Amino acid sequence: MKWGGEVIEFHLDARSGVAPYMQLIRQVRHALRLGVLNEGDKLPTVKEVVARVAINPNTVSKAYRELEYEGLVIARPGLGTFVTRTLVGDSLSKHEPLRQGLARWLTEAREAGLDDESIEALFLSSFRAFSEARG
């Protein structure tokens, strides 16, 4: 909880191979999912992020634009960027049935003779292709 001022601090993992703007987006979504960020909360200004993380301002703007496009935040000129909705509860209730579906799939994969690493590799490559195809 906080009153006024910005809530979250960003950080960058330089060796992840994930584009910096995407890392920022993920950190905001993560904070929304965990309830660290709530409706009405203000994100740090571009200048604040830049000064703290030593990151390109265009990258921060790009991340904020993307979040705005997703409908998660809104930019109010002269005031800052504010959270418009939260992601808490959005998905948590759906976790259990999904987990069960995944367990069934894992059993099938085992029965087909795949070992742990093959399963992991198959999942990761499918997941990556899936998310890349969806942009």
Size of the site for other proteins (CB under 8 A): 30
Contact status: 58 vs other proteins (CB under 8 A): yes
C-beta of residue 56 within 8 angstroms of C-beta of residue 20: yes
Both tokens of 4, joined, read: 């006024």
Phi, psi of 81 (to 5 degrees): -110, 130
Cβ contacts of 83 within 8 Å, gap of 6 or more:
32, 37, 38, 39, 40, 41, 42, 43, 72, 73
Contact status: 53 vs other proteins (CB under 8 A): yes
Residue from 62, 68, 82, 106 in contact with other proteins (CB under 8 A): 62
Q: By CB under 8 A, what part of segment 10-39 binds other proteins?
A: 12, 14-22
- Region of 28-36, 84-92, 98-106, 124-132 interacting with other proteins (CB under 8 A): 124-132
Site residues (vs other proteins, CB under 8 A):
12, 14-22, 46-47, 50-59, 62, 121-122, 125, 128-129, 132-133
